[in-house]
Amino acid sequence: MTLQTDINTLKTLTNGFTYKVDGDLHEINSGHLVTDLFPNSESFWKFFVTPITNRVDIKITNHNDKIRSRTTISTDIVDLSIIHYSVFLNLVYANVSLTTKHLSYFENFYAHLGSVCDLAEELLTQLYFITLECEEKETEVLQRLSKTKYLELAKDWYDKYYSNAHTHYLSKGKTVPFKIIGRTNVLNEYFENQLEWKVYSKLALQIRTYRNVIVHNTQIGSHITPQGIFVPKKNKIGDYKKWYQVFAVKQDKFLKDFIERDSQMQQDLNDLKTALNNLWLKPIQHFNRLLYIDNNSKLLKKYDIEIHDKNGI
C-alpha cells in the first residue's frame, strides 16, 4: 500500500529510528560495533532504508512485522538496502573474528574486510545510477565518452600493466585482465576526486591485496615472539609471499616490514570504518536532497511514497 504522508512527518519519524531499538537482531545487538567509528551507517539506514519497511506504518506494531520490507518498493531500492545491510554484517563479522580469535580468524577477518570494500563500492555504484535516473542524467564514463577519451583510458592501461604482462602470466598462469572501464572509473566520476574517495581507495586496494595473498595463496609466514605473532605489513606483503622470504628477514628489515598481527587488524578495522564514514557523507547528502528536499517524483515512486502537506493537499 502506498505510504501517504507529509515530508516533515516522514523525516521526523525516520530520524527517530535507531539500530538499538528499531533494528533487527544483529543491528540491536551489534550496531555499536559499527557506529563507534561509522555513525553514518545508521544515518543512511534510518533515512533511506527504514522508509522501505513497515516501520513507517504506525498501524503495524509487531516488531518482526515492522522490520519487513513493504511489498510495493522498487527492486533497485530493495537491493540497495540489502547491500547496505551486508556491509554492516561484514563489519560485525570482522569484529567478531578479531575478538573471538578462532583458528582461522586472521584469514576470515581479511576476507570480511575485503567483502566490505566490494559491497561498499557496489552500493555506491548502484546508488549513483539511481540518482542519475531520478535526475534524468547520464554517466559520461559509460555513455558519453568520445573515442579520444576512451583511447586515453586504453593508453593508461597500457602504461600501467602491459610491461608486466609476461611476468604476470608466468606467476599467475593467466594474462593481466584487460579492463579499460570498470567500477572504479564510475566512482571516480561520482566522487569527482574528493579526498574522501582517494583515502578510501588507497586503503581498499591495500586490504584487497592483503586479502588475496592471505586467502588465495599458500599460508603466509609469520614470526612468533614473546610480544605476539608478527606478519608482513600490508604495504610489504608483496615482498614476503614465500616462507623463505619471511624467515630470512634481517632484524632491521623486520622492524620496518613486520607488525604484530592483532594490532594491524584492529587498526585496519578502525581505518576502514572511518574511511567509510567519510565516504558515506556525499550519498547521504545527495539522497537527502532528492527525497526530503526536492521530493523527486521518480525516487518517491521507487519508495512508493505519496507526499502531501498537512492539510491533505
Position of cell 578495522?
A: 269
**How far apart are the C-alpha atoms of 87 and 109, rounded to whole Å?**
14
Q: Could you give the CA distance from residue 16 to residue 13 in angstroms, rounded to a whole number?
A: 5
Q: Locate 296 and state its grid cell.
A: 523527486
- Which grid coordinates are listed for 92? 560485525
Strand ranges (E), 192-244:
223-225, 228-232
250: Cβ contacts below 8 Å, ≥ 6 apart: none
Domains of the chain, by residue range, sit at 3-137+193-307, 145-192
Determine the length of the chain. Answer: 313
Q: Which residues on adjacent β-strands are paired with residue 260?
A: 230
User: Which residues, including other chains, have CB under 8 Å from residue 77's CB and lie 6 or more apart?
Assistant: 52, 130, 302, 303
pLDDT per residue of the chain (313 residues) written in tens, 0 to 9: 789 999 999 999 999 999 999 999 999 999 999 999 999 999 999 999 999 999 999 889 999 999 999 999 999 999 999 999 999 999 999 999 999 999 999 999 999 999 999 999 999 999 999 999 999 988 775 445 445 564 555 556 455 545 555 454 445 555 656 454 456 788 988 999 899 999 999 999 999 999 999 988 888 999 999 999 999 999 999 999 999 999 999 999 999 999 999 999 999 999 999 999 999 999 999 999 999 999 999 999 999 999 987 654 4
Spatial contact of 131 and 285, defined as CB atoms under 8 Å apart? no
Q: Which three cell numbers stand for residue 2?
A: 502506498
Helix boundaries (H) for 101-145? 105-134
